[in-house]
Amino acid sequence: MSDKLDQFRAEIRQWIAANAPSDWRAAATHEDFVASQRGWFRKLADAEYAVPHWPAEWPGGGRSLAEQKVIYEELAKADTPRLLLSFVSTYHAAATLMECASAEQRDHYLPRILQGETWCQGFSEPNAGSDLAAIRTKAERRGDTYVVSGQKIWSTMAQYADMCLLLVRTSTEKAKQAGITFLLMDMKLPGVTVRPIHQIQGDEEFAEIFLDEVEIPVSQRVGEEGAGWAVAQATLASERGLTLMELSYRMRGAMRLLTGEVAGTGLADDRGVLRDLGALCTRVDAVSALADRFLQKRMDDDEQIGDASIVKLAYSRCLRAWADLGVNLSGLSGQMHTPITFGDLNSGNWMADFMNSYAWTIAGGSDEVQRNIIAERMLGMPREPKTWMVEAGQ
């Protein structure tokens, strides 16, 4: 197996060397970014490297987890573009369709995703972020149509999406989770308005979606009415594992950007700087090792509840430290210009990296949520304070 993996790795490296874009960070507008993302996805799809996690009946699908790891390792090491525009499509939407949708829905949408159709996620609302069960976007059934009104927020790249995974409320008479329904919505339908959210560093990675009497056919429902909560769990469970490993490898590769700030300057003789750089190198290597160990446990079918939370928490905190040191080493020049980075991490645009790093303490489950999962589900700590602590006023 090792020889086959080595051969596969050599094949991937050769393909990347011949096909990876070298100037992808030079995109000056959002339109340039979108074109670059679509072109890179098309190349990967044509080479059958875009969806190795899909079943074997799809081009490039059916790869073992070890082979998937090789693909993402090599893409990360070569600093190729992350597939930001198609991430929801190939992971969240694909997992939802494969696990929960009808055969007709799968046959209709999955080939379109592989051809480059982009999806966004309409889950969070202004008053329902971490508590998705509190959504209020209303869907009223009228014959063979749901009429939907409400608002979604923090939808990644919704302004470029063709389709949306949409959670709506179809009942308020039962428990909050029981009244949620899952719909597939065409973003071009009348009544759909998308407004990009302009971020502090110039990005427009997220958007708001306003829904005004949008008519969605009942045939676009996934699962039964009121079963949307269970469908959403399949959606949200699809992104961990390889993503964490890829991100940790990208951060390790980007250590060269930090050493570049030190090389050839007076900082190279500063013991404090060398101490901080050495400590961060050790920390980045540790996060990569954690991610590798987590993926190996998944390959060995030994993954435990909370393992992914440990890696996610370690990565988000380390990313903050990485960007913070970059800002400090770059001095005033690193704070003067914050070009658009389109959510790119470890770019060497230090102030943009610094601000983007804070988003990762929330994205994919906040640090606080990860700590709760580790404490309660791995360590067995109680949710409620013990009686003696309450009585003692602690």
CA 62, 67, 73, 79 torsion-angle sign: negative
Counts of helices then strands in the chain (DSSP H, E): 15, 8
Separation between Cα atoms, residue 77 and residue 241, nearest integer Å: 17
d(CA 253, CA 251) in angstroms, rounded, equals 5
Question: Which residues, including other chains, have CB under 8 Å from residue 177's CB and lie 6 or more apart?
Answer: 133, 229
Catalytic-role residue among 67, 73, 117, 239: 239
Q: Is 239 noted as a catalytic residue in this protein? A: yes
In eight-state DSSP terms, residue 229 is: H
Rounded-to-integer distance, Cα 355 and Cα 349, Å:
10
Dmax (CA) of the chain: 75
User: Environment class of residue 308 by beta-carbon count within 10 Å: exposed (0-12), middle (13-18) or buried (19+)?
Assistant: buried
* One-letter amino acid for residue 337 of the chain: H
- Angle formed by the axes of helices 271-299 and 255-262, nearest 10°: 170
Which positions are annotated as active-site residues?
A: 239
